[in-house]
Amino acid sequence: MNREIIIAGGGLAGLSLGIALRDRQLPVTILEAGTYPRHRVCGEFISGVSEQTLSRLGILPLFDTAHRHQTLIWHERGKIIHRDRLREPAIGISRHELDERLRTHFEALGGVLKTGVRSRPEPAEGFVWAAGRRPQTGQWVGLKAHVRGIPMDADLEMHAGSNGYAGLAGVEDGWTNVCGLFKIDRALPAKGPELLAAYLNAGGNPKLATQLSDAEWRDDSFSAVAGFELGRQPAVPGLLCLGDAESMIPPFTGNGMSMAFQAAEAAVVPLDAWSHGNATWETTCHAISADLKKRFRRRLSTALFLHRVLLSDRGRTLLQSLSAARLLPFRPVLSLVR
């Protein structure tokens, strides 16, 4: 009898790990506080993960019908400062669709999924905490919505401003995902879905704010999240954390979804060994934690540095100057956060 693995959190990391473990015939239960399908604050494009990783997790076929994005454009307060093409296409798919595909596949493999169940981050053998961000006092708010009818100059767009930035990416059925990260400003005279345009306008992107307000909005797609900090998350001794519960990369990198899959990949073999009784839980946690730190250390430190540059006056001036001189090192920098 193999020992059961319980995963708290049915997001990208939790579901993809559950699928990979079920492919190995291991007993897995996922505990999810919410329900499916659902919208989540997320950039909703996958860049930087290899097909080999998705294949090893047993989920590569789930992306067969997803968009493939190649062109990108970067705006700084309405002014274009860079155009480019990705060397490898990014996958465009909404969390509303992707989480449902992962859920269906996990249950088809015999995995047990319990929704509406809240867990606590308490260390225990066989228990994996993949329940998303760890609530803490933070200065950021994430906002997202699906819209139709907003003009796009590239497959992927980033619009930076003085208070944060927003990314636009196409997903299924003609919808465009608009997702932004902004410094919390409680003085803004807006609430609910109006906040997304209000933050864009306040940051120096009034044209995009107007286009967003005039677009068709997908019912119930507006989502918001606050109370978090970027970077490596506070550790709980003995608690095995994956995904956003372990580390959160600044979203402008477009690497957050990829990191969730890569974290799940790192956990599969050690958890398989523990389930078969070939490793202690302490050894298993240590091996996975060490792997995650090795995989993500460089990209997290680079991304956090660039995040500060993007949100400083001097940093934005420097980027504009480099762009004007055609010296912006976009591709080398991109490789550092992959």
pLDDT in tens, 202-260: 999 999 999 999 999 999 999 999 988 999 998 889 999 999 999 999 998 999 999 99
pTM higher than 0.85 for the full model? yes
Beta strand 79-92 pairing with 45-46: antiparallel
Amino acid at the residue 262: Q
Q: What is the pLDDT of residue 186?
A: 93
Q: Mean pLDDT across the stretch 292-319?
A: 92
- pLDDT for 16-75, tens place per residue? 999 999 999 999 999 999 999 999 999 999 999 999 999 999 999 999 999 999 999 999
User: How do residues 122-169 score in pLDDT, each as one tens digit?
Assistant: 999 999 999 988 777 889 999 999 999 999 999 999 999 999 999 999
The rounded distance, in Å, linking the Cα atoms of 329 and 236 is 38
Give the pLDDT score at 316: 86
> For residue 327, what pLDDT band results from cuts at 50, 70 and 90?
confident
Domains of the chain: 5-136+228-336 (3.50.50.60)
Residue 297: pLDDT band with limits 50, 70, 90: very high
Average pLDDT over residues 257-264: 97
- Tell me the backbone φ, ψ of residue 16, rounded to 5 degrees: -65, -35
SS3 label, residue 169: strand
For the cut 90, the answer to whether the pLDDT of residue 334 exceeds it is: no
Quick one: 235 exposed, middle or buried, by C-beta within 10 A (0-12, 13-18, 19+)? Answer: exposed
Q: Mean of the per-residue pLDDT values for the chain? A: 94
Helix (H, G, I), strand (E, B) or coil at 15: helix
Burial of 254 (0-12, 13-18, 19+ CB in 10 A): buried
